[in-house]
């Protein structure tokens, strides 16, 4: 009785979390319609864990199809809900698609959790809920400024939907607010497979370095930071993944003091865009072709986490540093170049 449903299980964070869950003794199934992910990633999960993971390739916005998964798996004890669109820029140009997909899928999965008595629910949230913070580092009780994009607003609304829903049923929930997940599993058998031209910094760096992109722009060099470029809290994907396993066990053992419990998942260190580029160049031994460009609308100037709560409550200690993040990201990009994925 330890089956976990991971939605978005073929995605970047979902696939790395499935590996950690299996290695921690859980049995895992996935729901992923592969609209923004590659089902081949399941081969990498099997290569690492020896386990073949069943993925139900259905749309979570289809309630009947989603319910059928629960009808076929009456032994699900927990849900980790990742499935969502996450491209900030795309959400600005297509807000209704983001609200329909991200909120519709969340509502359906919550309805199923209620109907099929699955009482442990971990939600993939984001530091984007803080908007442009007045004070950094941010804690879980830092005020939430207005969302900077429809993507960010779906995360804020998602948290509110969960907050109100769990008042009426026996679902216990944890909201995990990721900062900037980067890097790849050290086996280099799974990693991030960006959908189209990467909007995020690290895949933009690695694709430029390997020649997939001719060059990259640094979005803004006149910010009030130590070198003028934006500051973020980059966190290795495997540290993020392990936090989900710890959070699930914390819920199953009913250690949560409030419902929902909220945790920041960041290293507690902030790095600027130019510092990340310098770290990448040092690790990869390559010179990156980039130019300083204008600011990107919707960008937060600077944010990084106070992660004390996750450390003390979950016993979560990030294991990877910035060089590890750059090294695994680069090794994965080299792997992608030599394989069909």
Q: Which of 36, 86, 185, 236 binds ligand WQD (CB under 6 A)?
A: 86
CA distances for 272 relative to 100, 220, 225, 301, angstroms: 34, 11, 8, 10
218 binds ligand WQD (CB under 6 A): yes
In this chain, which stretch among 37-45, 178-186, 245-253, 325-333 interacts with ligand WQD, using CB under 6 A?
Answer: 178-186
88 binds ligand WQD (CB under 6 A): yes
Of 77 and 201, nearer to ligand WQD (C-beta) is: 201
In this chain, which stretch among 16-24, 70-78, 109-117, 173-181 interacts with ligand WQD, using CB under 6 A?
Answer: 173-181
154 binds ligand WQD (CB under 6 A): no
CA distances for 237 relative to 169, 210, 234, 241, 284, angstroms: 32, 21, 9, 6, 19
85 binds ligand WQD (CB under 6 A): no
Q: How far apart are CA 46 and CA 118, in angstroms?
A: 26
Of 151, 178, 304, 320, which residue is the catalytic one? 151
Q: How far apart are CA 2 and CA 160, in angstroms?
A: 28
What backbone torsions phi and psi does residue 328 show, to the nearest 5 degrees?
-70, -35
135-146 exposure pattern, b = at least 16 Cβ within 10 A, e = fewer: ebbbebebebee
Per-residue x/- marks for ligand WQD, 123-152, CB under 6 A?
A: ---x-x------------------------
DSSP E strands in the chain: the ranges are 3-7, 27-31, 54-56, 76-81, 120-126, 172-178, 180-182, 216-219, 231-232, 234-236, 261-265, 271-272, 290-293
By CB under 6 A, the count of residues binding ligand WQD is: 20
- Closest to 290 in 3D by CA, of 298, 281, 299: 281
213 binds ligand WQD (CB under 6 A): no
275 binds ligand WQD (CB under 6 A): no
Q: Look up residue 211 and give its DSSP letter.
A: T
Q: Which of 76, 201, 240, 241 binds ligand WQD (CB under 6 A)?
A: 201
Is 63 part of the annotated catalytic residue set? Answer: no
Q: How far apart are CA 151 and CA 61, in angstroms?
A: 17
Interface positions, 10-49, toward ligand WQD (CB under 6 A):
none
236 binds ligand WQD (CB under 6 A): no
Residue 261: CB minimum distance to ligand WQD, A: 19
Q: How far apart are CA 5 and CA 17, in angstroms?
A: 11
Q: How far apart are CA 288 and CA 280, in angstroms?
A: 8
What backbone torsions phi and psi does residue 53 show, to the nearest 5 degrees?
-95, 130
Tell whether omega for the bond before 86 is within 30 degrees of 0, i.e. cis. Answer: no
Residue of closest CB approach to ligand WQD: 230
Of 89 and 143, nearer to ligand WQD (C-beta) is: 89
232 binds ligand WQD (CB under 6 A): yes
In this chain, which stretch among 46-54, 70-78, 115-123, 212-220 interacts with ligand WQD, using CB under 6 A?
Answer: 212-220
Question: Which tokens in the block code for residue 229?
Answer: 């470029």
Residue 238: CB minimum distance to ligand WQD, A: 15
Q: How far apart are CA 130 and CA 156, in angstroms?
A: 9
Of 70 and 82, nearer to ligand WQD (C-beta) is: 82
Of 15 and 172, nearer to ligand WQD (C-beta) is: 15
Catalytic residues: 151
Task: By CB under 6 A, name the binding residues for ligand WQD.
Answer: 86, 88, 126, 128, 178, 180-181, 199-201, 204, 216-219, 230, 232, 273, 296, 299
């Amino acid at each position: 009785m330890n089956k976990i449903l991971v939605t978005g299980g073929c995605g970047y964070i979902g696939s790395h979390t499935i590996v950690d869950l299996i290695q921690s003794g859980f049995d895992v199934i996935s729901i992923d319609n592969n609209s923004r992910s590659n089902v081949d990633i399941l081969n990498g999960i099997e290569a690492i864990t020896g386990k073949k993971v069943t993925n139900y390739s259905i749309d979570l916005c289809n309630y009947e199809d989603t319910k059928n998964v629960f009808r076929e798996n009456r032994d699900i004890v927990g849900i980790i809900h990742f499935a969502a669109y996450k491209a900030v820029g795309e959400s600005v140009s297509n807000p209704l698609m983001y609200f329909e997909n991200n909120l519709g899928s969340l509502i359906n999965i919550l309805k199923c959790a209620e109907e099929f008595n699955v009482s442990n629910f971990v939600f993939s949230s984001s530091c984007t809920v803080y908007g442009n913070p007045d004070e950094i580092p941010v804690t879980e009780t830092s005020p939430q400024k207005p969302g900077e994009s429809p993507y960010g607003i779906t995360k804020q609304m998602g948290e509110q939907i969960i907050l109100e829903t769990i008042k009426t049923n026996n679902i216990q929930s944890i909201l995990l607010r990721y900062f900037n997940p980067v890097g790849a599993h050290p086996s280099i058998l799974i990693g991030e497979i960006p959908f189209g031209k990467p909007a995020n910094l690290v895949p933009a760096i690695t694709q430029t370095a390997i020649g997939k992109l001719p060059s990259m722009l640094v979005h803004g060099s006149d910010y009030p930071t130590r070198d003028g470029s934006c500051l973020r809290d980059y966190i290795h994907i495997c540290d993020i993944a392990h936090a989900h396993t710890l959070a699930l066990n914390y819920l199953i053992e009913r250690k949560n003091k409030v419902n929902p419990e909220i945790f920041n998942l960041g290293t507690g260190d902030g790095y600027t865009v130019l510092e990340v580029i310098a770290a990448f160049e040092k690790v990869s031994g390559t010179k990156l072709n980039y130019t300083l460009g204008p600011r990107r609308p919707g960008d937060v100037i600077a944010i990084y986490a106070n992660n004390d709560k996750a450390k003390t409550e979950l016993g979560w200690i990030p294991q990877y540093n910035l060089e590890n993040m750059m090294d695994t990201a680069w090794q994965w990009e080299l792997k992608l170049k030599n394989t069909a994925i």
